[in-house]
Chains A and B, each alone.
Chain A
Amino acid sequence: MRLMSGLRKPLIALGAAVSLTAFATASWAETARSVSAEPFARVYLAIRGCSSCAHCRTTIRQMVRANAKGGEARIGVDQVEVRYATPRSIPLREVIHSLAENRLHDLSLVDVLFTARGAIRTARDGSPRFFLEETGQAFPISIDRAVRRPADGTPLRLTALVEGWRGKGDLTLTARTIDSQD
């Protein structure tokens, strides 16, 4: 009983702290979700290496922001997300290069996903291109047979793998999911 008595205060403190932490995290996450619901575009950068301490996170945040032209950078576990709330031209290559050039320790960029609102249209040469909503910015896109392609010009939200960033040529998109916005 004495042992239990000695443990009572720490256990109460532990319980209270667990509850507060859970509540605070849940509240913030809920707020974040509602405030940032469906941004115009997101760039997800999957990274490997040191990205966890305050100094690495500050460095990564500032490196991305320096090239994101107004995009909001958020850092998760082994990933960086750059959000654009409203339609605008996305500096995709610059954002990618901010981390791909390995300016921090052993940090390396391994994959890039891009999601945005827009429409797919067939270009004059017959190849499909993804046009970002309201901006006129376009990227070549390849669409696997497993992914249903809507009719040209249909408003949609595209999630695509970004390819070509390791080289100096054009960036291209490979569609992963296409959600109709009608």
Chain B
Amino acid sequence: MPRFRVWVVLFIAALLGAPLTGMAEESTDTPLHFHGYGDIHYNNPQLSTMNQAAISEADAHRFALGLSYELTPEMRIDAEIDFEHAAEEIELEYAHLDYDLAPTLTLRAGSVLLPIGPLNEFHEPTLYRSVERPYVETTVMPTTWQEIGVGLVGRTGNGAFAYRGYLVTGLDAVQLSAIKGLEDSQSHGSEAAAEDLAGVARVEYAAASGLSFGASGYYGGADQGNPALHDVFIGIANADARYRKHDWDLRGVFYRVFVDGAESVSAFTGETIGKAMMGWYAEAAYDLLRRDATGGRRSLFAFGRYEAFDTNLEVPEGFEAEEGAGRSVITGGISYLPIEKVAFKADFEHWKDDTDAELNRFNLGVAFQF
């Protein structure tokens, strides 16, 4: 609670203090920039065979406040605090120092968002169409994932080719789960165990045609010196593509996770930890208001997405795959953006798992960023 108060006081102070200066004559002349985002959800699951206890709920899911302070034109501090579930959970989303070594090469150090997949770093809720994030990117890829680390952020080829690479603190294998996959295994940069480190890198190419590609890799130790686990290593491979032009927004994302030492983790935790996990989704969205064509500001996206993920795709010898670890979700809905930074969303999810249990869910949401 004291920590919470300190952050609240600092943020309110900063928000109040900046306008006193008149924010300079031009907004690019101020060293202090604020940003933030939020999303508020209503989820209405229909009672089903998958989760008999599910009830309707409304949740102030995320409210994040961030700031960027330019120490010099080449050196900046960036930070973001996420108040989740009406501030029941407070998380340092990231806090890092950026130091430009060259016009298109930046050294980054601190609590950093891992560059894996398209969503982890660019996770503002107006950037994805559904009320909830794709479930592949909460289980197989545990967004939002941050670790303490250092690395490089760069761009070349007239800006079309981007790369990031960091050395970071590793995952904690003890927190792996049969059903939730990697979801709770990241340190969030909070007194992170640093016995094991990991390397992570991502490359992206964006063509002027509106087509972009990305590929990411992660590999590192995850036993964090726990003698009961012996050596545990986790690897993640990702590939993704997006086409965004002529009012179409098409995305395809794939992740595969390898857990070397899953048998010792399973024996330690008492649940079957997959030695391989996999998740992917394909999504198509079309702007019915045709913002690209008209040059207006409003969009009304109708979208559909199919995703499949399995946190027990392969299991260690002597262990049985957990029932319900293989799941698919079909999501369809609309997202109305009166301006680019505000979205009103409604969608419907149909879940099915490997035991043929099913769940239907209706969601409403409002999302904003500034």
Contact = CB atoms under 8 A, between A and B. Distances in A.
Interface in A43-67: 48-50, 52-59, 62-67
Q: How large is the interface on A (under 10, 10 to 19, 20 to 34, 35 or more residues)?
A: 35 or more
Nearest to A28: B31
Interface in B163-207: 206
A52 B370 contact: yes
Contact of A29 (B12, B24, B103): B24
Contact of B160 (A49, A50, A81, A103): A103
Given A10-B9, A54-B78, A103-B206, A62 B21 contact: no
Q: How large is the interface on B (under 10, 10 to 19, 20 to 34, 35 or more residues)?
A: 35 or more
A62 B152 CA distance: 13
Contact of B25 (A22, A33, A67): A33
Contacts of B153: 58, 62
A19 B21 CA distance: 10
Contact of B27 (A18, A76, A105): A76
Main secondary structure of the interface of B (DSSP, over half): mixed
Given A17-B9, A22-B20, A66 B28 contact: no
Nearest to B34: A52
Contacts of A77: 27, 33
A68 interface: yes
Contacts, number: 169
A105 B299 CA distance: 14
Contacts of A68: 103
Main secondary structure of the interface of A (DSSP, over half): helix
A108 to B, nearest CB: 8
Contacts of B157: 66
Contact of A25 (B18, B154, B155, B159): B18
B160 to A, nearest CB: 7
B361 interface: no
B271 interface: no
Contacts of A21: 13-14, 16-18, 32
Given A50-B122, A53-B124, A17 B13 contact: yes
Interface string B27-46: 11111110111000000000
Greatest chain A CB density within 10 A among B70, B96, B155, B244 is at: B155
Contact of B340 (A10, A49, A104): A49
Contacts of A54: 66, 68, 76, 78, 80, 94, 96, 98
Contact of B159 (A24, A28, A103): A103
A60 to B, nearest CB: 10
B121 interface: yes
A150 B17 CA distance: 44
B73 A25 contact: no
Given A54-B66, A106-B340, 6 more contacts: A13-B9, A14-B12, A17-B9, A22-B17, A52-B33, A62-B153
Interface of B: 5, 9-10, 12-14, 16-18, 20-21, 23-33, 35-37, 66, 68, 70, 73, 76, 78, 80, 94, 96, 98, 103-104, 106, 113, 121-122, 124, 126-127, 153-160, 162, 206, 208, 210, 212, 244-245, 297, 339-341, 369-370
